[in-house]
Chain A
């Protein structure tokens, strides 16, 4: 753990000194404020509409930040040859991966805090109703989901040499899971064998990001999610993180560095 923290801090410093996060935050804020200021439905539902838009933008921005930050970590270390002085220190390749994961995941958490704080402030400006605890749960689940995405992208970064190809694949896969993942079992039912078994296998193998998505509950002020399902979702995320990191470690362990 002692070796992981300095590695994680470097990732955090990189995020703070690069412009990606600021650009995405300003874009999200601008779009949300602009949408909120246009009262074209002229109804009381504008607050909910604004929340929906803002949360959708936060989700998209978080996917972009998580994927772009993580995808470049290992390829940049190799391309810039910073991996050599790093691995010449008493640190193993597995620890480097763990440190990178920790840094990227913490960076995502930090971004989510800023985004959700903005969302909270924006919601207060539009309506008095705001369930801060539910917002906290939404943030926690969102962060847990990003943990899976960060670990998956890290695995991709040791498999694919170019961060752009890894980033594109991870983005398509994550959006695909978010949009279609929950429907795959229904699709499988309509198919004949062996396609049915294949689609079922995919359905059970992929991490279901949709279980972490409680945006509707936040928008429609439904009560808190019970602690049990939240804990189970976090455990589910931890299991996938462990699987992806283990796979990344196995690939990276014997990989030539140049």
Chain B
């Protein structure tokens, strides 16, 4: 479903003489169909760079990434994915309905299916009542749910979510979690990054922990907990080398 092989992402500094910064260093991952996969790491670990390669925003320096067996360099690789960015900004002069119709058009969803899909996703994210309001009048939580709706408009087999609950209130978080769980029950694959380790423990089948661009651990949450004899948060802190202060 999602495969990454020896991925290296480097950024050149614009200033002369500055060294090349390696954001991802030889990362290999394989996400299977139907699983919820948590992609963890502290800020600057290389999560967003990896996602940027998967989504075609950035070209890999070396290595390859595939979605459904198609190299991510091909736009068609993104035909069956849904993506929710960490910060959702959409065309604020459009209504939720219009924005979904726009993205449905990009996916070339047949016209007779579009309205049904829009109805279904707006109901799922509980925005049916506000569908004709322009997005600039939405609260942050509502905008995040529009983001989730656009990620689902093509009925994707794989969802890539970049910190989907970031900045949401507890109710908003719970709703997003519910949606992720519902998608898992429908057999969808979810690949998401998060800083909320409790949340990850709750919804993920497998996790990968990244630090300084390198993969530090990968496996089932229960296996990692058994192997290290500590909870996911403690495992995470140990792997990223966090030293708690003595007092």
Contacts and interface: CB of A to CB of B under 8 A. Distances in A.
Interface of A: 2-3, 5-7, 9-10, 13-14, 17-18, 80-82, 84-92, 95, 254, 256-257
Nearest to B93: A17
A92 B75 contact: yes
A36 B56 CA distance: 56
A17 B69 CA distance: 42
A87 to B, nearest CB: 6
A18 B93 contact: yes
7 contacts: A14-B91, A81-B85, A88-B57, A88-B160, A90-B79, A90-B106, A91-B75
Contact of A13 (B75, B85, B93): B93
Contact of B102 (A6, A90, A254, A257): A6
Interface of B: 55-59, 75-79, 81, 83-85, 87-94, 98, 101-103, 105-108, 147, 150-151, 160
A95 B74 CA distance: 13
Contacts, number: 77
Contact of A84 (B57, B76, B92, B98): B57
Given A5-B105, A254-B59, A88 B81 contact: yes
Given A80-B92, A85-B88, 9 more contacts: A2-B105, A2-B108, A6-B102, A85-B151, A88-B160, A90-B77, A90-B106, A254-B59, A257-B57
A10 B107 CA distance: 15
B57 A14 contact: no
Nearest to A83: B57
A10 B106 contact: no
Contacts of A10: 91, 94, 102
A85 B83 contact: yes
A124 B25 CA distance: 72
A9 B59 CA distance: 29
B139 to A, nearest CB: 18
Nearest to B14: A256
Nearest to A253: B59
A82 B90 contact: yes
Given A10-B94, A10-B102, A90-B79, A85 B107 contact: no
A88 B108 contact: no
Q: Among B56, B59, B147, which residue has the most Cβ atoms of chain A within 10 A?
A: B56
Contacts of A256: 58
Contact of B107 (A5, A17, A82, A90): A90
Contacts of B59: 254
Contacts of A86: 106
Contact of A80 (B56, B79, B89, B106): B89
A256 B57 CA distance: 8
Contact of B94 (A13, A89, A91): A13
B102 A88 contact: no
B55 A13 contact: no
Nearest to A76: B91
Contacts of A2: 105, 108
A90 B75 contact: yes
Contact of A85 (B56, B75, B98, B150): B150
Contacts of A87: 55-57
B83 A88 contact: yes
A3 B93 contact: no
Given A6-B106, A17-B93, A82-B91, A88 B79 contact: no
